[in-house]
Amino acid sequence: MRWIFFPPVISLVFLIITTLFHDRMAAMPLPSQIWGMTVGAYVCLCALSLYHLVRDEDKYNAGLSALAQGLIISVMSLQLGVMFMSWIGLVLFLTGLLITFFYATRESAQIPMLAPMIAAEESDDGVFKRVDSLIEKLAFPICYTDNTGVIAGATTKFLEALGSPKEEVLGNIINDLLPIDDEEIMLDSGKWTITQKKEGARFYFSLTPILAEKTAAAALRPNTQANVMLFDDATGLFTNEYRKIRGIQEVSRSQRYKRPLSGLLLQLEFEPNPEVSLTEEQRAMLEAAFKTKVVSVLRTTDCGFLLEDGKIEVLMPETPIAGAKTLFNKLTALTQDVFDEGIRTAVNPRVAGGMTFFNGSTKMDYTAFSMALEDTLAKHKQSVASGKSKNKAASPV
């Protein structure tokens, strides 16, 4: 639905209406210089709108669209002699200016004052009140600062990585907690890579665990939560029981904050040569080796679950479809890394996979999300089987 704000979508409708009311007597032909400036400005506004649409940033959509519509309608209406449409275009252009000005100034004015506001909200027992912002609800180790380097917000995962309570983090200078000029940091929670990015008046800092430390850290995590087993001891994947809880949470979070959520469903299959007899014990050992490798490939933010039927479901919060395809291709090619050439020749391991994507802007529940994964997996297996049948039919006897 957000693509309706992309300027050419609505401009086409307005231009058709303007053309229908064309009045040659009232037309005011404009010089080519005016047209050149108009087209150049319109193309720039369309590019800005497309940039924000791709990034799922909705706040500037209405303003940029109104600016572009007002500009092109005003000029085209004068050219065609439709005076009332030129006034509509002027109103749209001024409205777009006001909307864009409002969001731009509100963002720059609020961010520097966020840290003092947090400090001012300290309660009597010395515990900071919760700042109900989106970033603090994300399941990633992230913090952000204002343009002076004062930490204005941090996720729970970031506080856990530092091993410090919120009151010792918020309001402090980022340099006192992280060596931001270095690429890595060693903490009690493990070894992390530091990534920083500037967005407007904010500076974002994220921590990514280094793979060598990831496995060791996972071994220290508790395997129970409210009488629910979290991890499968043999593979390190989350359990199917925990999937039913976490899956609902991730879909709900994606819908609440209109953030992307991608999902994968993987199934390891074997097609042994006729002279090879693959026992159930051997099959189980091969599957366990593959599933363990999947855990090591998943990112920190990904959640891999072991289903009761042996399939692997992967939930990827904050991941668009392009990122999901990248991980999908990496996981489906894992058999080359897990099994040596002799095993691959004997049992022909292959990963069947399904993939689905939810952008958070419509209604969704986890049951429907899981069913979509099952459907895409079934279609993938069906397409593979159909391709093999065609190959056999085409091969000479």
Q: Can you give the pLDDT at residue 177?
A: 83
Residue 108 in tokens:
């720059």
C-alpha to C-alpha distance for 117 and 131, rounded to whole angstroms: 10
Residue 248 in tokens:
């609902």
- Number of separate domains in the chain: 3
C-alpha to C-alpha distance for 352 and 243, rounded to whole angstroms: 20
Task: Yes or no: say if 170 and 151 are a contact pair by the CB < 8 Å rule.
Answer: yes
CATH of residue 333 = 3.30.70.270
Q: Can you give the pLDDT at residue 220?
A: 46
Q: Can you give the pLDDT at residue 222?
A: 61
DSSP bridge pairs for 269: 350
CATH of residue 202 = 3.30.450.20
The 8 Å CB, 24+ separation contacts for 276-283 are 276/346, 276/347, 278/347
78, 108, 138 - which closes a domain: 108
C-alpha to C-alpha distance for 78 and 242, rounded to whole angstroms: 64
185, 209, 233 - which closes a domain: 209
Q: Determine the structural domain holding residue 329 and report its residue range.
A: 221-394
Residue 177 in tokens:
């907690």
Annotate 152-203 with DSSP letters as a single string. Answer: EEE-HHHHHHHT--GGGTTTSBGGGT--TTSSEEEETTEEEEEEEEEETTEE
| Mean per-residue pLDDT pooled into runs of 10, the chain (397 residues) | 67 76 75 82 82 68 79 80 79 82 57 37 38 47 83 84 85 82 77 78 79 45 66 89 92 90 94 82 87 90 93 94 92 89 88 92 91 92 72 48
Residue 375 in tokens:
């459907």
The answer on 256 and 142 residing in a single domain is no
The answer on 122 and 184 residing in a single domain is yes
> Is residue 216 in some structural domain?
no
The answer on 239 and 385 residing in a single domain is yes
The answer on 378 and 245 residing in a single domain is yes
Q: Can you give the pLDDT at residue 304?
A: 95
Q: Can you give the pLDDT at residue 208?
A: 78
Q: Can you give the pLDDT at residue 223?
A: 60
Q: Is the dihedral of CA 12, 13, 16, 18 positive or negative?
A: negative
